[in-house]
Amino acid sequence: NAGVMQNPRHLVRRRGQEARLRCSPMKGHSHVYWYRQLPEEGLKFMVYLQKENIIDESGMPKERFSAEFPKEGPSILRIQQVVRGDSAAYFCASSPSRGRETQYFGPGTRLLVL
Amino acid sequence: SQKIEQNSEALNIQEGKTATLTCNYTNYSPAYLQWYRQDPGRGPVFLLLIRENEKEKRKERLKVTFDTTLKQSLFHITASQPADSATYLCALDMGYGGSQGNLIFGKGTKLSVKP
C-alpha cells in the first residue's frame, strides 16, 4: 500500500509565477490536509479537504492561495504570483476519516522562490 | 488561541540513557495529543496518540504521559540509540467542531543521541 505521494519534491519558481503542488492520499483515504513548514518554524495547518469539498480553510492566506480535491485525481495546492516569503516545505497528510485518526504525511514539496 | 511549547529546541544525550521531551499547551485541554518524528528532508511520522482520559501510553521503548492539570505531556525514549536522533513534534487535536483534524504542532525538539 503506497503511502501519501507528493510531487514535485522540489519546485523552483521566480517571483510572480504560479506554483502547483500535488498530493495523492493513501489508498482508501478521503480526507486531505495541507500544512506549511517555514524555516525554523513548526508545521502550520492550512486547509482540510474532502473529495470535492473544502471543510476548513482557516489556515489559508486570504489571497493567492487555493486548494482543491476533485472527485478524480490528486489534491492540488495552488499558489499564484509567488513571493519569496512563500518559500517553505509544504506537506500533505491524509486520513481515512475526519479527525481522531492518525494523519499520514507525505514527503513534502520544497518550494524555493527566487 | 491554543499554543504549544516544546521545552527545548535541542536535547543531547548519551546512548543508553532515557530522553525526556516536554510539551506544554495553553487554554483548553485537547481531546487528543500526538507525537510525531521528523527526519531531515522528510515528512512527520506518527509515533503515539494519547487521549485526554488516558494518563500513560507505551509502545516498545516509547512512553507518553498526559497531565491535563499541568497541561503537559512528557515523551520518553528509554535505552536511547543514535538511530533515535531526529526532531520530535508534539501535536494537538482539539477534537471538536470545525477544528477536528486540524492539528496544532509545536516547533519540535531536536534530539541527538551520542554513541
Considering only residues A42 and B94, tell me which one the structure prediction assigns the higher pLDDT. Answer: A42
Interatomic CA distance for residues B87 and B22, integer angstroms? 13
pLDDT of residue B7: 77
Q: What does the angle CA A44 – CA A49 – CA A55 come to, to the nearest 5 degrees?
A: 90
Task: Please give the pLDDT value at position B100.
Answer: 58
Banded model confidence at residue B99, pLDDT cuts 50, 70, 90: low
Query: Please, what sign has the CA dihedral across residues A29, A33, A39, A41?
Result: negative
CA distances from A36 to A27, A43, B49, B115 (A): 23, 6, 22, 34
Q: How far is B113 from chain A (nearest CA, A)?
A: 21
Q: Name the interface residues of B facing A (CB cutoff 8 Å).
A: 4, 31-32, 34, 36, 41-46, 49, 89, 91, 93, 95, 98-108
pLDDT along chain A (114 residues), means of 10: 90 98 93 90 91 90 95 96 96 79 91 97
Q: Do A33 and B101 touch (CB under 8 A)?
A: yes
Q: What is the pLDDT of residue B31?
A: 75
Angstrom distance (rounded) from CA B80 to CA B84: 6
| Interatomic CA distance for residues B5 and B8, integer angstroms | 9
Q: Do A33 and B105 touch (CB under 8 A)?
A: no
CB contact under 8 A, A100 and B89: no
The mean pLDDT of chain B is 89
State whether residue B90 is helix, strand or coil. Answer: strand
* pLDDT at B107 > cutoff 80: yes
Look at residue A98 in the predicted model and tell me its pLDDT.
62
CB count in 10 Å sphere of residue B80 = 21
Q: Report the residue of chain A nearest B105, measured CA to CA.
A: A43
- Angle B15-A104-B21 from CA coordinates, rounded to 5°: 30
* Partner residue opposite A48 with nearest CB, options B46, B101, B106: B101
* Residue among B34, B43, B106 minimizing CB distance to A107: B43
Residues of A in contact with B99 (CB under 8 A): 56
pLDDT > 70 in chain B, percent:
92
What single-letter amino acid sits at A38? Answer: L
Among A40, A41, A103, beta carbon nearest to B103: A103
pLDDT level of residue B98 (50, 70, 90 thresholds)? very low
Q: How far is B69 from chain A (nearest CA, A)?
A: 22
Cell of B65: 504521559
Confidence of residue B93 (pLDDT cuts 50, 70, 90): confident
Mutate to test the interface with A, among B102, B104, B107 (most CBs of A within 10 A): B102
Chain B residue with CA closest to A101: the answer is B101
